[in-house]
């Protein structure tokens, strides 16, 4: 899992914790007991009170360090075995962190510790915020050659290997993705055979699919194929990708050769998968090695390079976006020249446009420009963006300097593109590096920062939404003050509103509030939303705590915004993290959960639609039961109706049905739609299977709703996945496709019309 971006306060606290841990580690290694005791005292005196997070940070640092056991031993001596229960801001306990980062010796230490004292909890049974067990995290351990994972296999019951996390992956799936063949053998022995490797997990994947993702070693994949037979290589996941497609994207040439031998030839590499891609398209995405792509082209011939997927992209386009200059040279040799790089693909892009998006390396872009000449830099795609605009959004300062030299100056960076933006606007979106933005401002002067696009956004507004505190400081220096951050854009937003949307880092928001003062937090945009409302919807608990401190209390979170919502309603929409919602409820009390907006929806209704099962469990605990989930809201919906609309996760729906019983599935809203109808429209095949099991059959899918439609009609509207429709037709038979609603439309009519509209919308977006 990628590390969460940190705010300035978090960052300094994190660095202080890391620094103290490093000092303790060095003192222990040097055998300096006096210094060690002095340093450990800094942890002890802060473990309770204002410095709690700092002290716990030292413990987390020890758990994350492969060689952190000596310090963990000392910390346990001082603070007891409960340190292994501490949970960091990402939801990982110390036990989980140690299982992922340390060796079997740490697990043995914890086992002996538990045997010597009486505790009412078992750290090996704990789950983290993603419902992963300690065994899941040990399966992710890349530092110990599988020793921690194998130790746990010996110590724990076989059932723990089939424990599932929030993504529906078992420990076996996780191990296949991160461990080597030896661990697969251990699992086989523990589970008495290889059937366990056929279990389906996230996206309907088996362990073989997962092993194809394994960037550590190809040995797990080869072992599994040898055990299960070559047919497993053509098994498809929910996205229609075979193991072969996935292996082409994540493995090297040796694995392609292995697959060729197992499949008795290379025809298997021509199989179509997701978005009509072949294995060659997939290999062009391969960030591990270009060897798979080269091997496939050598085997299949150069014609495969111009094969197009469902998006009209050739292998050449994809390679330009994900490979380096060496692959461009290889393609040139195979295609006998550079004309192939001018082919148009998705969105009317050439390979040069694609290379400008390449965040792996700028070498492909530079190679192509050197080969094709500088005119290719001003070539426009279907969105009216030049290669220069795209490069500003994805490349670093070095690429800007390269373009300047090729274009003989900086005037090219003033060219207008989609929405009337310049390269400077594009650089403000750049999530790879802020260096392109800084370089452009230094070259073009500070006036470019207040240049407005067609939406009336300045570069400053965009930078506040996508950059960090350092960029805000840079802009302040260039603009000689902070007044520029008060400029309004189309929706009457200032840079502070924009920073509240920032999913990259909360540091820009905190920096701006510190500079402009807390009053800016209650500034309202054209929709009547304050910065606080927006922050609750896009930031985490740490930002809520920051706002509380700046506003001297929590009353500010009760302010009403658009549609009469409070910050708690906004936090229920938060797709970044559930931590803001939990923090607000803990601070304001459970009554805020039943507060209604202008549409009569409570926070509970909104959370059911946008959060996962963990949030439902949290609400149950806060409300002392599940009756709250039966409250009626907009359109006479209960939380179960709302959860059926949830396209973030099906876990909330499943949790609610398990808690409330299957009768809730046939509850009707004001439109006469049952939860089953709604689920068919927004969920995948897995949810249909879940409903079938809960309702003891498929008759429930024939219930009539609004306009006399069945669940099959609803599934024909499903924009999330076609899998629900396919599952229903397979279960109910093809006759259901000709069933007519009150408007005389069959399922076939609806599916065809919905697909046509989607294609039109997609074309317009492109």
HEC per residue, 408-452: CCCHHHHCCCHHHCCHHHHHHHCCCCCHHHHHHHHHHCHHHHHCE
**Looking at residues 600-605, what average pLDDT do you find?**
99
pLDDT surpassing 60 at residue 763: no
What does the longest C-alpha to C-alpha distance in the chain come to?
85
Instruction: Give percent above pLDDT 70 in the chain.
Output: 97
Q: Please answer whether residues 388 and 377 qualify as being in contact, where contact means their C-beta atoms are separated by less than 8 angstroms.
A: yes
Cα(558)–Cα(738) distance, integer angstroms: 51
What band does 756 get if pLDDT is binned at 50, 70 and 90?
A: low
Question: pLDDT at position 716, please?
Answer: 95
Does 735 fall in a domain? yes
Query: Of 53-57, 195-199, 452-456, where does mean pLDDT reach its minimum?
Result: 53-57
pLDDT surpassing 60 at residue 1: no
Cα(232)–Cα(197) distance, integer angstroms: 10
Q: How many residues does the chain have?
A: 766
What band does 446 get if pLDDT is binned at 50, 70 and 90?
A: very high
Strand partners, 164: 170
Does 722 fall in a domain? yes
Strand partners, 689: none
What band does 5 get if pLDDT is binned at 50, 70 and 90?
A: very low
145 CB-near residues (< 8 Å, 6+ apart): 180
Cα(582)–Cα(571) distance, integer angstroms: 9
**Looking at residues 73-85, what average pLDDT do you find?**
93
> Structure pTM?
0.89
pLDDT tens digits for range 696-725: 999 999 999 999 999 999 999 999 888 999
What band does 50 get if pLDDT is binned at 50, 70 and 90?
A: confident
Question: pLDDT at position 12, please?
Answer: 66
What band does 194 get if pLDDT is binned at 50, 70 and 90?
A: very high
pLDDT surpassing 50 at residue 549: yes
* Number of domains present in the structure of the chain: 1
Return mean pLDDT, the chain.
Answer: 95
Q: Please answer whether residues 43 and 20 qualify as being in contact, where contact means their C-beta atoms are separated by less than 8 angstroms.
A: yes
Cα(675)–Cα(471) distance, integer angstroms: 47
Does 743 fall in a domain? yes
Nearest to 285 by CA among 321, 252, 259: 321
Does 676 fall in a domain? yes
- At 232, list the tokens: 């497993």
- At 339, list the tokens: 């004309």
| Chain centroid, CA 382 distance in Å | 28
Strand partners, 668: 674
Does 756 fall in a domain? yes
Strand partners, 746: 740
What band does 11 get if pLDDT is binned at 50, 70 and 90?
A: low
pLDDT tens digits for range 395-431: 999 999 999 999 999 999 999 999 999 999 999 999 9
HSE on the CB side for 706, CA within 13 Å? 13
pLDDT surpassing 50 at residue 534: yes
Cα(612)–Cα(621) distance, integer angstroms: 15
Cα(461)–Cα(757) distance, integer angstroms: 34
Cα(93)–Cα(129) distance, integer angstroms: 9
**Looking at residues 51-68, what average pLDDT do you find?**
93
Provide the phi-psi class of 133: left if phi over 0, else alpha when psi is between -120 and 50, else beta: beta
Task: Quote the domain boundaries for residue 763.
Answer: 668-766
What band does 3 get if pLDDT is binned at 50, 70 and 90?
A: very low
Strand partners, 740: 746
| Chain centroid, CA 70 distance in Å | 34
Cα(272)–Cα(245) distance, integer angstroms: 9
Question: pLDDT at position 89, please?
Answer: 77
Cα(516)–Cα(494) distance, integer angstroms: 11
* φ and ψ at residue 404, rounded to 5 degrees: -55, -45
pLDDT surpassing 50 at residue 695: yes
Q: Please answer whether residues 622 and 661 qualify as being in contact, where contact means their C-beta atoms are separated by less than 8 angstroms.
A: no
Question: pLDDT at position 760, please?
Answer: 46
Place of tokens 């006998």: 336
User: In 3-state terms, what secondary structure has residue 746?
Assistant: strand
pLDDT surpassing 50 at residue 599: yes
pLDDT surpassing 70 at residue 9: no
3-state secondary structure 56-97: HHHHHHHHHCCCCHHHHHHHHHHHCHHHHHCECCCCCEHHHH
- At 112, list the tokens: 């002996």
**Looking at residues 342-362, what average pLDDT do you find?**
98
pLDDT tens digits for range 93-127: 999 999 999 999 999 999 999 888 877 788 888 88
What band does 6 get if pLDDT is binned at 50, 70 and 90?
A: very low
Q: What is the CATH number of the domain that holds 723?
A: 1.25.40.20
Does 487 fall in a domain? no
Question: pLDDT at position 491, please?
Answer: 93
**Looking at residues 669-695, what average pLDDT do you find?**
97
Does 387 fall in a domain? no
What band does 574 get if pLDDT is binned at 50, 70 and 90?
A: very high
* φ and ψ at residue 136, rounded to 5 degrees: -60, -45
User: In 3-state terms, what secondary structure has residue 344?
Assistant: coil
Nearest to 344 by CA among 378, 369, 380, 319: 380
Question: pLDDT at position 764, please?
Answer: 37
Render the burial of 431-449: b for 16+ CB within 10 Å, e for the rest.
eebbbbbbbbbebbeeebb
Strand partners, 703: none
Cα(123)–Cα(106) distance, integer angstroms: 13
Query: Of 165-169, 641-645, 702-706, where does mean pLDDT reach its minimum?
Result: 165-169
3 CB-near residues (< 8 Å, 6+ apart): 90
Q: Please answer whether residues 220 and 183 qualify as being in contact, where contact means their C-beta atoms are separated by less than 8 angstroms.
A: yes
3-state secondary structure 259-306: HHHHHCCCHHHHCCCHHHCCHHHHHHCCCCCCHHHHHHHHHHCHHHHH
Write out the DSSP string of 167-189: TS-BHHHHHHHHS-HHHHHHHHH
Question: pLDDT at position 7, please?
Answer: 43
Q: Please answer whether residues 178 and 213 qualify as being in contact, where contact means their C-beta atoms are separated by less than 8 angstroms.
A: no
pLDDT tens digits for range 134-156: 999 999 999 889 999 999 999 99
Provide the phi-psi class of 552: left if phi over 0, else alpha when psi is between -120 and 50, else beta: left
- At 400, list the tokens: 């800007």
CA distances from 703 to 697, 734, 741 (A): 13, 17, 12
| Chain centroid, CA 746 distance in Å | 37
Does 288 fall in a domain? no
- At 596, list the tokens: 């209604």
Cα(268)–Cα(99) distance, integer angstroms: 39
Q: Please answer whether residues 295 and 253 qualify as being in contact, where contact means their C-beta atoms are separated by less than 8 angstroms.
A: yes
Question: pLDDT at position 755, please?
Answer: 67
- Measured over the CA atoms of residue 214, residue 215, residue 216 and residue 217, the dihedral's sign is positive
Question: pLDDT at position 118, please?
Answer: 79
Q: What is the chain's percent helix, strand, coil content, to nearest 5?
A: 65, 5, 30
Write out the DSSP string of 600-668: S-BHHHHHHHHS-HHHHHHHHHHHTSSGGGG---GGG--HHHHHHT-SS-SHHHHHHHHHH-GGGGG-B
């Amino acid at each position: 899992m990628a590390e969460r971006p940190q705010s300035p306060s978090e960052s300094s606290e994190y660095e202080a914790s890391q620094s103290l841990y490093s000092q303790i580690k060095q003192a222990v290694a040097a055998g300096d007991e006096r210094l060690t005791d002095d340093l450990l005292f800094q942890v002890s005196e802060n473990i309770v009170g204002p410095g709690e997070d700092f002290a716990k940070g030292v413990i987390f640092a020890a758990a994350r360090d492969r060689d952190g056991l000596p310090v963990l031993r000392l910390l346990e001596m001082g603070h007891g075995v409960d340190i292994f229960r501490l949970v960091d801001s990402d939801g990982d306990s110390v036990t989980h962190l140690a299982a992922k980062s340390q060796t079997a010796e740490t697990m043995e230490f914890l086992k002996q510790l538990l045997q010597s004292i009486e505790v009412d909890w078992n750290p090996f049974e704990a789950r983290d915020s993603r419902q992963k067990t300690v065994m899941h995290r040990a399966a992710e351990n890349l530092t110990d050659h599988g020793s921690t994972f194998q130790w746990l296999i010996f110590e724990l019951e076989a059932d723990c290997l089939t424990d599932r996390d929030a993504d529906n992956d078992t420990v076996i799936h996780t191990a296949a993705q991160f461990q080597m063949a030896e661990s697969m053998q251990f699992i086989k022995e523990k589970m008495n055979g290889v059937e366990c490797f056929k279990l389906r997990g996230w996206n309907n994947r088996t362990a073989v699919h997962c092993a194809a993702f394994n960037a550590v070693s190809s040995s797990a994949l080869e072992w599994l194929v040898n055990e299960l037979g070559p047919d497993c290589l053509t098994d498809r996941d929910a996205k229609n990708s075979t193991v072969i497609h996935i292996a082409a994207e994540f493995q090297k040439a040796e694995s392609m050769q292995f697959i060729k031998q197992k499949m008795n030839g290379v025809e298997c590499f021509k199989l179509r998968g997701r978005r009509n891609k072949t294995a060659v398209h997939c290999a062009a995405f391969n960030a591990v090695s270009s060897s798979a792509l080269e091997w496939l082209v050598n085997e299949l011939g150069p014609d495969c390079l111009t094969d197009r997927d469902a998006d009209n992209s050739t292998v050449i386009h994809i390679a330009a976006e994900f490979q380096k200059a060496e692959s461009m040279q290889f393609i040139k040799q195979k295609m006998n020249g550079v004309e192939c790089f001018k082919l148009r693909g998705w969105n009317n892009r050439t390979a040069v446009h694609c290379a400008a998006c390449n965040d792996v390396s700028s070498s492909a872009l530079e190679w192509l420009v050197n080969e094709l000449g500088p005119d290719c830099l001003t070539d426009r795609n279907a969105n009216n963006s030049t290669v220069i605009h795209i490069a500003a959004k994805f490349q670093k300062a070095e690429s800007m300097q390269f373009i300047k030299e090729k274009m003989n100056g900086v005037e090219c960076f003033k060219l207008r593109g989609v929405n009337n933006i310049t390269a400077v606007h594009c650089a403000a979106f750049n999530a790879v590096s802020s260096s392109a933005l800084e370089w452009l401002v230094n070259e073009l002067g500070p006036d470019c920062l207040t240049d407005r696009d067609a939406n009336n956004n300045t570069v400053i507004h965009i930078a506040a939404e996508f950059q960090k505190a350092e960029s805000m400081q840079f802009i302040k220096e260039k603009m000689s003050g902070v007044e520029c951050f008060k400029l309004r854009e189309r929706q009457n937003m200032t840079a502070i509103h924009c920073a509240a949307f920032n999913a990259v880092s909360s540091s820009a928001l905190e920096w701006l509030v510190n500079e402009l003062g807390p009053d800016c937090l209650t500034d309202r945009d054209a929709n009547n939303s304050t910065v606080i409302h927006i922050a609750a919807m896009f930031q985490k608990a740490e930002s809520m705590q920051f706002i509380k401190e700046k506003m001297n209390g929590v009353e500010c979170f009760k302010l009403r915004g658009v549609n009469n919502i409070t910050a708690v309603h906004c936090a229920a929409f938060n797709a970044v993290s559930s931590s803001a919602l939990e923090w607000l409820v803990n601070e304001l009390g459970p009554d805020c959960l039943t507060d209604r907006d202008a549409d009569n929806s409570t926070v509970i209704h909104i959370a059911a639609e946008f959060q996962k099962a963990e949030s439902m469990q949290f609400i149950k605990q806060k409300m002392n039961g599940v009756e709250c989930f039966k409250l009626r809201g907009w359109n006479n919906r209960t939380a179960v109706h709302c959860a059926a609309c949830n396209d973030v996760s099906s876990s909330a729906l499943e949790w609610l049905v398990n808690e409330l019983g299957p009768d809730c599935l046939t509850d009707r809203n004001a439109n006469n739609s049952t939860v089953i109808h709604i689920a068919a429209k927004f969920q995948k095949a897995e949810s249909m299977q879940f409903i079938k099991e809960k309702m003891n059959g498929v008759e429930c899918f024939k219930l009539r709703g609004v306009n006399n439609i069945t669940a099959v009609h609803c599934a024909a509207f499903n924009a999330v996945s076609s899998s629900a429709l396919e599952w229903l037709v397979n279960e109910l038979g093809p006759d259901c496709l000709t069933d007519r609603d009150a408007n005389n439309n069959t399922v076939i009519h609806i599916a065809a019309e919905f697909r046509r509209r989607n294609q039109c919308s997609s074309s317009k977006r492109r």
